[in-house]
Amino acid sequence: MPQSPATPLPSPKERRRLREAKSLSQADIAAKIGVTRETVRSWETGRTAPRGRKREAYIRLLNAGATPPTAKRAPKSHTSARHPALTPASPPPPAPAPATATATATATTPLPQPIRVATTAAPPFPGPRDHSPAQAFDALCAYCAPGLVRQTYLLTGRRGLAQESVERAFQLAWQRWPEVAVDRDPAGWVRAAAYEYAMSPWHRFRPGQRHPDALPASAADRAFLDVLLSLPPAQRRTLMLYDGLGLDLPDTAAETEASTPATARRLLHARETVAEQMPELADPEVLHRRLMEVAGAEALRLPKAERVRTGSEYRARFWTRAAIAFTALIVGATALTLRNAPTQYEPPQAPGTAINGVPPRMGPGPLSYEDTTLREKLRAELTTGNPRLTPQLP
């Protein structure tokens, strides 16, 4: 019996919870519906939503034997207002109660408890809907840029790369603004883009990144930054999202594109590594305050919204013109080839064959004794004068 079109689709968090409650992977869901694993991951992160028959099959698969949750969790923002050094300029919505861990994660790895601090209520971004695209983008830039630059600095340890990463992320957001504007969390979209660019391994080959950056002024900050940068990139990012921003475990797993148990293990390993080298940071609360202090001690340049929009449009025009020029070059080369190519078929020449009875062509060989005597005689006689012109009898 087909699913009714009026059946509501669960929220992205609820989709992930229902799938994990049935002990199904994203690949299992994709195989049963007939889509790719990346599509299922996009559905669970809220980037896209299924439609048509795939939507009906997805709802039936999630609701098959499902029991309603005991308590409905309030939507959680991807940012935290615990400290201005790691948060946007304006306070985000209040944080909900701690999310319950899944059965699979509880059975394998003890899930760490997030730090929850009460925040003041604030209207969710982006605000009034009657804003123009430029005004909404400027508001997003002012909302996210201050905290995002400091977060990226803690991930990379380089001021210039942090500023460049955030500016490049906002340029990409402006290029894809129709997609970002309707996203359920535009701040998380920009944050993910900035993190991906900042932690790319290709930066090590850039000439400007081969020299070490200026170290913090405080010796304690330098030691903490060295310990933080010694962590693997995945653990460093998980620690920043969970202990730095206060995201819950499912949101952290969704943003890092990992399962909830894997995210929990990364977080626990990161905390253990930091606690081994700096025992005073074994408490998550102390670690959180230390992250805030180191991030707030640096004076970083913030990207300007107008400059970001101008740079994004300039890059878009540049690459568009480059693509047009490259296409024109290919078309011109193809036309020139067609113009100079032969218009009819020319059969290849047959290979030559040997002819019998004709002596081979010989070159000059060594002189015989008679030839040598004649040559000497001719050289000894006069070559000019009357004796040569007057015939003589033998």
% of the chain beyond a pLDDT of 70: 77
Per-residue model confidence (pLDDT) at position 239: 92
Is the confidence at residue 114, as pLDDT, over 90? no
How far is the C-alpha of 288 from the C-alpha of 390, rounded, in Å? 125
Is the confidence at residue 319, as pLDDT, over 60? yes
pLDDT digits 0-9 by tens, 381-390: 766 656 555 5
Per-residue model confidence (pLDDT) at position 195: 92
Residues 209 and 291 in one domain: yes
Per-residue confidence band for 263, with pLDDT thresholds at 50, 70 and 90:
very high
Residue 26 lies in a domain: yes
Alpha helix positions (H), the chain: 12-21, 26-33, 37-45, 52-63, 103-108, 133-156, 159-175, 177-181, 186-198, 219-229, 233-239, 249-255, 260-277, 284-296, 305-340, 369-380, 386-389
Tell me which of 340 and 363 has the higher pLDDT: 340
- Output phi, psi for 50, to 5 deg: -70, 155
Per-residue model confidence (pLDDT) at position 194: 92
CA-based diameter of the chain, in Å?
143
Query: What is the rounded average pLDDT of the residues 192-200?
Result: 91
Tell me which of 189 and 207 has the higher pLDDT: 189
Tell me how far CA of residue 29 lies from CA of 7, 18, 64, 102, in angstroms: 19, 11, 13, 18
Residues 6+ apart with CB under 8 A from 48: 39, 42
Tell me which of 321 and 63 has the higher pLDDT: 321
Tell me which of 208 and 105 has the higher pLDDT: 208
Residues 25 and 114 in one domain: no
Residue 60: CA count within 13 A, CB half-sphere: 13
How far is the C-alpha of 164 from the C-alpha of 146, rounded, in Å? 13
Residue 195 lies in a domain: yes
How far is the C-alpha of 268 from the C-alpha of 246, rounded, in Å? 15
Cα dihedral 141→146→149→151 (10° resolution)? -120
Is the confidence at residue 77, as pLDDT, over 50? no
Per-residue model confidence (pLDDT) at position 388: 58
CATH number for the domain spanning 40: value is: 1.10.260.40
* CB-based contact 291:86 (threshold 8 Å): yes
Q: Which of 260, 280, 303 is at the close of a domain?
A: 303
Per-residue model confidence (pLDDT) at position 95: 39
Is the confidence at residue 174, as pLDDT, over 90? yes
Range of the domain at 170: 103-303
Is the confidence at residue 83, as pLDDT, over 80? no
Query: What is the rounded average pLDDT of the residues 205-212?
Result: 78
Tally of structural domains, the chain: 2
Q: Which two tokens stand for residue 106?
A: 């509880």
Is the confidence at residue 87, as pLDDT, over 70? no
